[in-house]
Amino acid sequence: MKINKSISVVVLAMLFFSGCEALTPDNEYDVIYEVTGTSTSVNIQYNDVSGYPIDLINVNLPWTLEMHVSVPYDRMASLMLFASNIGGIGTGSVIATLYVDGSISDTEIDDNDDAMFDDGMVVVTDILF
């Protein structure tokens, strides 16, 4: 009995000093940013795994970035992918797609063939909890 009490005290002390946060797992996601289309080059901005914006200039298509995102149980993460055609009107389409855990979360297409309605820019977003 003395050994069982000692083990119980050690386990309770470990739980007390480690805190509840260590017992709650993060939410894990596999994220893919993808930009395709007939445009020859685009400017890209996206949020990295820490949520910071990253700018890429004059990127050839197709372009893909895969990352693993861990979201603490009491937080959320914002995903954003922005692509802008460099060539102007009539210089090709831009397609941005955001995948979360293998499924399309958001996609947007700009065929960039009409100055009145197309601006050659696409934005896709999602919020992870």
pLDDT given at position 28: 92
For the stretch 22-48, pLDDT in tens is 556 789 999 999 999 998 889 999 999
pLDDT given at position 54: 96
- Ranges under pLDDT 50 in the chain: 1, 3-21, 116
HEC secondary structure over 61-118: CCEEEEEEEEECCCCCEEEEEEEEECCCCCCCCEEEEEEECCEEEEEEEECCCCCCCC
Domain ranges of the chain: 25-128
pLDDT given at position 89: 60
Domain 25-128 sits in CATH at: 2.60.40.2880
Give the predicted TM-score (pTM) of the model: 0.74
pLDDT given at position 114: 57
pLDDT given at position 11: 38
Residues 6+ apart with CB under 8 A from 26: 70, 71, 72, 73
pLDDT given at position 82: 94
Query: 118 near 89, Cβ under 8 Å?
Result: yes
Dihedral of CA atoms 26, 34, 83, 111 in degrees, nearest 10, equals -140
